[in-house]
């Protein structure tokens, strides 16, 4: 075995820079940004994200299988029917819990759900909560293998369909599997989207650059997501509850010296809407609703307040 040294130019490549290797946003330390508060001097904004999803039974998994999707050979009726359970049964348990503890959820909706479950869309729309476009469906991924024209059509179809079904002007976007192509941000800005939820590298919104103007990254935590913790990492429901409360306490304490913070939690109806899990969600909501330092708001409201305070789009 011989020693081989890397060439001197090994680490020289386009966009290499301090803190990151791209020019999509201006890098900065969270602790060094100008301090600000949420409305009424609240220290922590709480964003409860509820995905309303459709997983095709015959998913292609191109270029990868979506987390939470079908895992068995076709037809995977076991997992397909469980996801359907979330949109027929589990979601209503979540809605009852939100009402009980006066929590404002945000709904990230696959536009395909609009044609498959119009009754559900009507109920969600009547609540006047924030609605985010979650792409066309959970097998319609955004990735570098798509041409710009293909992805533009995919994005436009999803947004137009959801706008029509909800009679609203959708401003937020969450890609299926949080996956983007090099063109996604540009194409979303082109379609009038103001904020995206795919980037998880912060605890406050921040501005990203596109040729059409700025677009806001609204960090939606994967680490605190119910699917990631309970299904992927095999944590117990009790552990999930404790981690939610711990994150809340820590961020409130940090905000008291460093300025406002954002706590984003994703809860899936097919997962937390189960009869053996809903109690843990209710306990989490009870604790969160008891903290006077928290601003309970939808993603649209959080983005609008942050943008106004930071002179952003």
Q: What is the pLDDT of residues 113-122, one digit of tens each?
A: 988 999 999 9
pLDDT class for 18, splitting at 50, 70, 90?
confident
Q: Which two tokens stand for residue 262?
A: 């954002």
List phi, psi (to 5°) of 146: -85, 145
Domain count, the chain: 1
List phi, psi (to 5°) of 43: -90, -30
Alpha carbons within 13 angstroms on the beta-carbon side of residue 224 total 26
Average pLDDT over every residue of 109-128: 94
CATH code of 209's domain: 3.20.20.370
* Residue 12 belongs to some domain of the structure: no
- CA Rg, the chain, in Å? 20
3-state helix, strand, coil in the chain (%, to 5): 40, 15, 45
Q: Which of 198, 263, 270 is nearest to 227 (CA)?
A: 270
pTM of this structure: 0.94
Q: Is the peptide bond before 301 cis (omega within 30 degrees of 0)?
A: no
The pLDDT, as a whole number, for residue 284 is 98
* Residue 17 belongs to some domain of the structure: no
* Residue 14 belongs to some domain of the structure: no
Average pLDDT over every residue of 142-148: 97
* Residue 21 belongs to some domain of the structure: no
Range of the domain at 48: 39-59+73-309
Measured in whole angstroms, how far is the alpha carbon of residue 238 from the centre of its chain?
A: 23
Q: Tokens 């359907």 label which residue?
A: 84
Task: Report how far residue 305's alpha carbon sits from residue 299's, in angstroms, rounded to the nearest whole number.
Answer: 10
* Residue 263 belongs to some domain of the structure: yes
* Residue 26 belongs to some domain of the structure: no
* Residue 6 belongs to some domain of the structure: no
Task: Report how far residue 114's alpha carbon sits from residue 294's, in angstroms, rounded to the nearest whole number.
Answer: 32
Q: Which two tokens stand for residue 122?
A: 């009507």
pLDDT class for 240, splitting at 50, 70, 90?
very high
Task: Report how far residue 76's alpha carbon sits from residue 93's, in angstroms, rounded to the nearest whole number.
Answer: 25
User: Is residue 1's pLDDT more than 60?
Assistant: no
Average pLDDT over every residue of 173-192: 97
Task: Report how far residue 274's alpha carbon sits from residue 82's, in angstroms, rounded to the nearest whole number.
Answer: 10
Task: Report how far residue 77's alpha carbon sits from residue 227's, in angstroms, rounded to the nearest whole number.
Answer: 19
Distance set, CA 255 to CA 246, 263, 293 (Å): 14, 11, 10
* Residue 1 belongs to some domain of the structure: no
pLDDT tens readout for residues 50-83: 999 999 999 999 999 999 999 999 999 999 999 9
Q: Which of 198, 176, 222 is nearest to 62 (CA)?
A: 176
């Amino acid at each position: 075995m011989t020693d081989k040294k890397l060439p001197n130019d090994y680490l020289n490549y386009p966009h290499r820079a301090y803190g990151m290797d791209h020019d999509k946003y201006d890098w900065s330390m969270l602790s060094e940004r100008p301090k600000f508060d949420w409305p009424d001097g609240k220290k922590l904004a709480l964003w409860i994200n509820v995905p309303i999803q459709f997983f095709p039974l015959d998913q292609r998994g191109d270029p990868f299988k979506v987390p939470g999707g079908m895992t068995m050979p076709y037809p995977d009726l076991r997992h397909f029917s469980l996801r359907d359970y979330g949109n027929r049964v589990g979601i209503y348990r979540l809605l009852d819990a939100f009402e009980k503890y006066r929590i404002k959820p945000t709904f990230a909706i696959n536009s395909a759900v609009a044609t498959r479950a119009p009754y559900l869309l009507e109920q969600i729309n009547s609540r006047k909560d924030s609605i985010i476009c979650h792409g066309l469906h959970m097998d319609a991924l955004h990735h570098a293998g798509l041409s710009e024209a293909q992805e533009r059509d995919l994005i436009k179809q999803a947004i137009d369909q959801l706008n029509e079904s909800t009679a609203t002007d959708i401003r937020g976007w969450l890609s299926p599997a949080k996956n983007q192509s090099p063109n996604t941000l540009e194409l979303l800005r082109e379609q009038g989207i103001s904020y995206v939820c795919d980037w998880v590298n912060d605890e406050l919104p921040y501005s990203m650059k596109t040729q059409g103007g700025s677009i806001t990254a609204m960090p939606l935590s994967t680490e605190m997501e119910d699917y990631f913790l309970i299904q992927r990492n095999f944590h117990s429901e009790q552990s999930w509850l404790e981690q939610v409360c711990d994150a809340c306490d820590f961020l409130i304490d940090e905000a008291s010296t460093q300025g406002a913070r954002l706590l984003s939690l994703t809860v899936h109806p097919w997962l937390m809407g189960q009869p053996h899990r809903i109690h843990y969600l209710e306990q989490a909501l009870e604790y969160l609703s008891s903290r006077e330092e928290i601003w309970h708001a939808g993603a649209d409201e959080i983005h609008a307040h942050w943008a106004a305070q930071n002179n952003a789009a």
